[in-house]
Structure 1
Amino acid sequence: MNATTTESDLRVTPEAPVPPSPDSVLEHGRYFTSLPREYYLDEERFKSEVDRVWCEQWVYAGHVSQIPRPGDYFILNMQDESLIITRSSATEINAFHNVCRHRGLRLCQESKGHFGPRIVCPYHTWSYGRDGTLHKATRMTDGEFFDYADWGLAKAHVSVWQGFIFVSMAEKAPAPVSSMIDAKTNADMEMIEPLRMKVAVEKIYEADANWKLLLENGVECYHCPSVHPEFCVSLDASAMADYYAEDYLPNLVQGLIIPVKGELESLSMDGRYLSKKLLGKFGEGTPIPYAFGTGFMTQPGYAWGGFHPDYGMVASTLPVSAGRSIMICQWFVHEDAVEGVDYDVEEMIKIWDITNHQDLAIQERQQLGVSGRRYVPGPNSPSQEPGIHSALRKYLEMMGEPY
């Protein structure tokens, strides 16, 4: 040790994490990663995501069975936006912004209900037709100060595919959902006749985690054996990994299969049917193909639906803030299935309920870890996590960022 060197000079200082290259947040030579820390924490980025991702893409809203009669409606709330999903007529479904065109009052407070011949604002009794046209501005005659035709309810875009309702708040509608779904998924979904299903039960989960963590977790099954032992009793986890590696497409909407082990009947705690009343043509005696399963998925804003011969489940994640999300799950059965006779609600939801709680607990722990100052995303598996790569590239594309 020379005269100018001190003991403190010889101490090893831990190296700071190396941030990703500024021109590529995913690609790092021989490997790819998830996103940098600030992508899961920054509230300004979150607001931009709502505008550029969530309001632009197709978002799963619900099923036509929820609004069987003209005038029926339900509400979809997403961050600061609220949409009224309503059956305006026997053949038309609309999505209106839940805002009176007079002074901005939210028209509907209840989560679901039925309109009479008019949608009436309770503030100053402006009234609208079921098709959203302004019928009466109280004590202001049409054409006296303004034209009623210019002040109907603001609409969002609607695309109904196989009875499932998707909405988009984009200025220009994305391509119809039906145009994005492959022929095999269409054929398989027609086998179970979704228009003859109903929602047996709906459950809402809350998570202190960024919505992209829910997305990333959902498009890989690398974690399934270690996190979901109950799920893996009937799930074919290796086929799930193969699906994301071989069949996954970075589309806003696409087909999805959540595969069941071939020797079993359905995705359940013991692999047996959860409803005695089988779906669609299977309930009429049509032979069930080996390991049958079908469904759909949206991304980057993430929803997925998995259907088997006896029931299905659709889960839709929605953003609340940079560090908070909700997930709305709906379980579907045949429209003629009778609770307590053909199916038991608690048994039906059990496998997904356990799995959802396990996943969201993991995402909350992950949010805590990602929030740490030392976090830098590590290498992802090209064989087990390729879905993350595709989903995040689509996210960056919509955000206008290089990948």
Structure 2
Amino acid sequence: MSQTEMRWDEQVPEQALTLPSRYFYDRAIFEAERDRIFMGAWHFGCHVNELSEPGAYVVRDVFDQSVILMRDKAGELHAFHNVCQHRGNRLLTETRGVQKGVIRCPYHSWCYNHDGSLKGAPRSQKIPAFNVDDHRIPPVRLQVFAGSVFFNLDPDAEDMETLFPEAEDVIRRSIPNLDDMRLVQEDDVIVPANWKVIMDNSIEGYHFQ
């Protein structure tokens, strides 16, 4: 789509038109959206109460990136990649749970603390100059905002207060008991469609008054 085709006044939304069809199936466009939008966006992880006890975790996947959100024994929240630093194996396979002990890789038993640091690796003492500090799982940026935990794969992204000024105040006025909320049920629905189809359906003017 040319710049001319995309030109419209965002203050007059009724003048907006549907995107050309290729924007819903073109692979190159999809990959550009992935890299330029989703890889630098804040993603919802969970309500902070889902990580209320030490070892509690939630795993979130964004395209080919898997992220662990976890509370450590000191009560601090951490986000780091869900991948062993030895052979790249996935560490946690469940969506959520409580990890009482170390995070143990099922492949070669490398063990990690709840902050992503390496606690130990079998026979590593036989490897010259092996240092556990050199094998910490890369962290992911994390922020608690309006009672929820968000993460961002871009370490240089602006924080949520800057991007959404006054949003937390608006949310808390709308949901006074926000901090007391608890997860009751979560259902995943896989829709075989481009993400913009879902977004267009959600904001379709015919669907609300």
Bin for the TM-score computed over the shorter chain: 0.7 to 0.9
Where does 1:159-170 land on structure 2 (aligned, <5 Å)? 159-170=143-154
| Superposition deviation, residue 93 in structure 1 | 1.6
Question: Match of 2:158, as an amino acid?
Answer: P
In 1, the alpha carbon distance for the partners of 2:172 and 2:194 equals: 35
For 1:44 and 1:152, locate their aligned partners in 2 and report how far apart those are by CA, in whole Å: 34
Q: TM-score, normalised by structure 1?
A: 0.46
1:115 is matched with 99
Alignment partners' CA distance in 2, 1:205 and 1:28: 33
Task: Give me the whole-angstrom Cα distance separating, in 2, the residues matched to 1:109 and 1:170.
Answer: 24
Query: Displacement, 1:101?
Result: 0.5
Match of 1:24 in 2: 4
Structure 1 stretches of 4+ moved >4 Å = 28-31
- 2:14 counterpart of 1:65: no
Superposition pairs for residues 27-38 of structure 1, below 5 Å? Answer: 27=7, 31-38=15-22
Q: Deviations over 1:211-256 (max 9, x none)?
A: 0122233234x1216xxxxxxxxxxx2xxxxxxxxxxxxxxxxxxx
Find out whether 1:224 has 2:207 as its counterpart.
Answer: yes
Residues 181 and 108 of structure 1: CA distance in aligned 2, closer, same or farther (over 3 Å):
same
Q: Distance in 2 between matches of 1:178 and 1:160?
A: 14
Other structure's SS at 2:67 match:
strand
CA distance in 1 between partners of 2:184 and 2:100 (Å): 26
* Partner Cα separation in structure 1 for residue 103 and residue 161 of structure 2: 29
Deviation per CA, 1:64-98: give whole Å up to 9, x if none.
22222110112112222211111124542222211
Given that 2:118 and 2:137 are in contact with CA atoms closer than 8 Å, whether structure 1 keeps it comes out as: yes
Matched residues in 2 for 1:71 and 1:107: separation?
14
The residue correspondences of 1:156-305 to structure 2 (distance < 5 A) are 156-177=140-161, 180-182=164-166, 184-185=169-170, 187-188=172-173, 192-220=176-204, 222-224=205-207, 237=209
**Contact 1:107-1:122 within 8 A present in 2 as well:** yes
Contact 1:76 1:83 in 2 (8 A): yes
Instruction: Please give the alpha-carbon distance, in whole angstroms, between the structure 1 residues aligned to 2:78 and 2:44.
Output: 14
Instruction: Write the distance in 2 (CA, Å) between the matches of 1:170 and 1:179.
Output: 14
- For 1:223, the aligned partner's letter is Y
SS in 1 for 2:40: coil
Per the TM alignment, residue 142 of structure 1 is displaced from its structure 2 partner at its CA by 9.4
Find the residue that maps to 2:23 and give its secondary structure. helix
Distance 1:148 1:142 in 2: 13
Could you say which structure has the larger radius of gyration? Answer: 1
In 2: Cα distance, 1:101 partner to 1:186 partner: 39
Shift of residue 106, structure 1, vs aligned partner: 0.2
CA contact (8 A) 1:85 1:94 kept: yes
What TM-score does the superposition give when structure 2 sets the normalisation length? 0.85
Quick one: which amino acid aligns to residue 133 of structure 2? A
Aligned partners of 2:73, 2:163: CA distance in 1, in Å? 24
1:81 equivalent in structure 2: 65
Where does structure 2 lack aligned partners over 5 or more consecutive residues?
A: none
Which residue number in structure 2 is paired with residue 43 of structure 1?
27
What CA distance in whole angstroms lies between the structure 2 residues aligned with 1:77 and 1:167? 11
* Bigger RCO (CA 8 Å, 6+ sep): 1
Q: Which AA in structure 2 matches 1:193?
A: N
